[in-house]
Amino acid sequence: MIASDRKGDKPFIKLFRSPRNYYFYDVNKNSVVHIPERIYKYLDDHITYEELWDEEKTYVAELKTKGYLSSNKINTLSYCTREYLDYLLSNCIEHITLQITQACNLCCSYCPYADSDNPLQRHHENKNMSWKVAKDSIDFLLNHSSDSKEVTISFYGGEPTLAFALMKQIVEYSKPLFVGKILKFAITTNATTFTEEMMQFMAENQMNVLISLDGPEKVHDKNRRFKNGKGSFQITYNNLKRLVTYYDPDKFVPISINMVLDPRDDIQEIETLLSDPIFDRVMVSTSLIDDTLIQKKNEVSDAFAAKMQYKEFLGFINELNLAKNKTQTSPIVSPYINSIKDMYKSFKKEALSLPETGTPGGPCVPGQHRLFVSTDGTFYPCERVSEKSEAMKIGSIFTGFNYDKAEALLNISQLTDKKCKNCWALIYCNLCAKYADDNGVLSGEYKSKFCKNSCDDAESKIYDCIMMKESQTVYGKGMTQECIVF
């Protein structure tokens, strides 16, 4: 329970404790405040206001004068006006992802498209995007990106290099159209079909190439195999190394790998891949197997969790420079460490109060930041949603945007209105429309199943921020009783 002031308005806060200190996270101010123990107990309803000492009452009053401990909450959950959404989708599209083929030459075990019995997602088919749909998609991007300085055209599949001729045609058609804008190309690929011509083409067009490479051979080949059961590591790895040689060594090389982490694997074994010097030039990103659209859910072993936490620990040691450069932040945990740094940085920005109208942090503007076009020209908010879901279809090349559906995906918090308004972690919510999609229908009940994970994630990150702060203050220089605000 959280203490109320004399008017009975409960402060909109979340309490935190570390081994030596006490804090509250103020939702309105988006900051973590270090407080004395007795104030913590008062906020936790173990001491009444009347039991506080005079100087403690003054302290609470000062916090309130500065805007802390407010009970203010968002009144209306809405991302923005409909007029503004119309403007964004008509003028500010930044990125279009073209599903140029649904065919793939691999049959990865965790791929939602690979299982023909998977009811949650469409499956691999020998279906290619037609030139008309591709051309119309590029024209659509041209007519809907007038206020975007930079646009990106991405190629997706299946395996997009299986439709290389179409990819070339799209690139050559696009280049003269987007003179006067920064035009970038990108591809997500398994890199098993690369030819000299393809690699030359990618390098000439400075294409951002994202290659799926899960770890060393034993780890990668466990899940990523050809249809005949043979592992794909050797071909993928060799093609990655060849591709790098086509790019100008004096410039930034826009090639990266995505390692999909199987929680049954040994992290240390996965990391052995990254000792290759090629990863000084090639960026690494990681993600756990996304089990949202597959039937077999992840089982995270204790050993995996323990080793991940240890990697995170080493990452923090490195960030705080406590081991004098004797440790490094593993690329496997870099995204998490960076998210902590971003959160820490956000605490330093002055937030006055929650707005009258606002929204939790989760969803992007569907179609604006990223527009996914399937082979038949249907629009989706991104490539990570179910293509079988009617709720996720936000229009098509032939009909344009369905603004009502786009608005519904943007404002999924309205499905869980009361819950979201009262949630202390709303600013750090990571739930997008995908998590509200219950077999093609947007459902608040379904979305609620993911809320706890989102809150736990935010809580864990705030604890890590506290740990980072205390490493520099409490354990470094000694503790003070002053109100330390992040």
Partner 1 sequence: MHSILIYPYSDMFFQVLDNLTEKFQNIYLCKPYSWKCYRTIDKVGCFIASDFFECFGLCQQIIIADVIDRNIIYEDIKKKIEIALDNDKKIYCCFKLKSEDIELFVNKGKERFVYLANDRYCVELDIQPSLFYSNAIVVGIGNLLTGQDQSVIAVNIAHDMASKGYSVLHISSNINTVFGGAIKFPTYIFENICHDVDKIYLFNKFIEQVEMEHRPDVIILEIPYGMLKYSNSLHNGFGIVPFLISQAISFDYFVLNSPLSIGNAAFYETMSSGFLGRFGCNIDLVSIENVQMDPISEEREELHLFHTDSIDVNNYIDFLLSSYWDNLEKTIEYCPFDLCEFSASDSIISKLSSNVDSM
Q: Which stretch binds partner 1 (CB under 8 A): 57-65, 121-129, 171-179, 316-324?
A: 171-179
Nearest CB to partner 1, comparing residues 151 and 270: 151
Query: What is the DSSP track for 282-340?
Result: SEEEEEE---TTSSSPP---HHHHHHHHHHHHHHHHHHTT-STT-----TTTHHHHHHH
Among the listed residues 149, 297, 418, 452, the single contact to partner 1 using CB under 8 A: 149
Q: Which residues does residue 256 pair with via DSSP β-bridges, in sequence order?
A: 210, 283
Is 246:203 a contact under the CB 8 Å cutoff?
yes
List binders of partner 1 among 52-81 (CB under 8 A). 80
List binders of partner 1 among 293-312 (CB under 8 A). none
Q: Which stretch binds partner 1 (CB under 8 A): 103-111, 179-187, 282-290, 412-420?
A: 179-187
Residue 155 Cβ vs partner 1, minimum distance, rounded to whole Å: 20
Among the listed residues 145, 232, 411, 416, the single contact to partner 1 using CB under 8 A: 145
Residue 400 Cβ vs partner 1, minimum distance, rounded to whole Å: 17
In the chain, what's the furthest Cα-to-Cα distance? Answer: 79
Distance CA 224, CA 74 (A): 46
Residue 146 Cβ vs partner 1, minimum distance, rounded to whole Å: 4
Distance CA 28, CA 486 (A): 14
Nearest CB to partner 1, comparing residues 183 and 322: 183
CA distances from 293 to 191, 217, 347, 372 (A): 24, 26, 34, 17
Residue 84 Cβ vs partner 1, minimum distance, rounded to whole Å: 7
Residue 169 Cβ vs partner 1, minimum distance, rounded to whole Å: 18
Is 136:377 a contact under the CB 8 Å cutoff?
yes
Among the listed residues 182, 300, 303, 305, the single contact to partner 1 using CB under 8 A: 182
Instruction: Pull the structure tokens for residue 252.
Output: 């930034």
Instruction: Pull the structure tokens for residue 304.
Output: 């995996």
Closest CA to 42 of 66, 61, 18: 61
Instruction: Pull the structure tokens for residue 97.
Output: 């992802």
Q: Does 176 bind partner 1 (CB under 8 A)?
A: yes
DSSP state of 10: P
Among the listed residues 142, 283, 322, 485, the single contact to partner 1 using CB under 8 A: 142
DSSP state of 231: B
Q: Does 173 bind partner 1 (CB under 8 A)?
A: no
Among the listed residues 299, 350, 404, 482, the single contact to partner 1 using CB under 8 A: 350
Q: Does 87 bind partner 1 (CB under 8 A)?
A: yes
Instruction: Pull the structure tokens for residue 176.
Output: 């003269």
DSSP helix/strand/coil, 245: helix
Q: Which stretch binds partner 1 (CB under 8 A): 170-178, 220-228, 314-322, 422-430?
A: 170-178
Q: Which stretch binds partner 1 (CB under 8 A): 36-44, 56-64, 84-92, 438-446?
A: 84-92
Q: Does 418 bind partner 1 (CB under 8 A)?
A: no
Is 314:329 a contact under the CB 8 Å cutoff?
yes
Q: Which stretch binds partner 1 (CB under 8 A): 3-11, 146-154, 198-206, 459-467?
A: 146-154
Q: Does 84 bind partner 1 (CB under 8 A)?
A: yes
Residue 141 Cβ vs partner 1, minimum distance, rounded to whole Å: 9
List binders of partner 1 among 362-381 (CB under 8 A). none
| Secondary structure of 391-422 in HEC code, one letter for each residue | HHCCEECCCEECHHHHHHHHCHHHHHHHHHHC
Residue 148 Cβ vs partner 1, minimum distance, rounded to whole Å: 9
Q: Which residues bind partner 1 (CB under 8 A)?
A: 80, 84, 87, 91-92, 142, 145-147, 149, 151, 176-182, 349-350
